Amino acid sequence: MSKIKSLDELKKIREQSKGGTDIRVTGENPDRVVLAVGMATCGIAAGARVTMSTLLDEIDKAGLDNVSVVATGCLGFCYAEPLVEVRTPGREPIRYANVDAARAKEIIDKHVKQGILLDNAIIGKEVPRQ
């Protein structure tokens, strides 16, 4: 470890080490948006791991501090995996089908950042969250 020589340098280290704790800090935020990725056998076989890591990378790149990515069980639409459900507090959850890396990027860019839904990728009727 080399010495930190100024407040600015300290802040830089804070930014670098944020990645170490930010999923905890975000997890405490009651207003966060949760992206649930179907990670049951069907999801994983269809490539949910790539989906998840893309989501995580994009959130990181965009510096979003109110979005969590969680794994969830089978959502019951095995033909449309990988599935991602976007849960925004106070709103009906939205489910997207066949989320590959490109669509994952789009979810972050459009839905999460700008509130624009990807109409062509929404699956089923909006099911209220239990």
Compute CA distances 117 → 6, 29, 103, whole Å: 44, 23, 12
DSSP for 51-96, written as a single string:
HHHHHHHHHHHHT-SSEEEEEE---S-GGG-S-EEEE-TTS--EEE
Kindly tell me which of 60 and 92 has the beta carbon lying closer to another protein.
60
- Residues binding another protein: number (CB under 8 A): 42
Compute CA distances 32 → 53, 66, 100, 126, whole Å: 19, 5, 23, 20
Q: Which residue type does 40 have?
A: A
The residue from 3, 63, 128, 130 that contacts another protein (CB under 8 A) is 3
Q: Is the peptide bond before 82 cis (omega within 30 degrees of 0)?
A: yes
User: Judged by CB under 8 A, does residue 30 bind another protein?
Assistant: yes
Kindly tell me which of 32 and 111 has the beta carbon lying closer to another protein.
32
User: Judged by CB under 8 A, does residue 125 bind another protein?
Assistant: no
Token pair, residue 127, equals 């099911």
User: Judged by CB under 8 A, does residue 66 bind another protein?
Assistant: no
User: Judged by CB under 8 A, does residue 117 bind another protein?
Assistant: no
Please choose, out of 50-58, 76-84, 86-94, 100-108, the segment that lies near another protein by the rule CB under 8 A.
50-58
Kindly tell me which of 70 and 122 has the beta carbon lying closer to another protein.
70
Q: Which residues bind another protein (CB under 8 A)?
A: 1, 3-7, 9-11, 13-14, 17-28, 30, 32, 34, 36-40, 52-53, 56-57, 60, 68-73
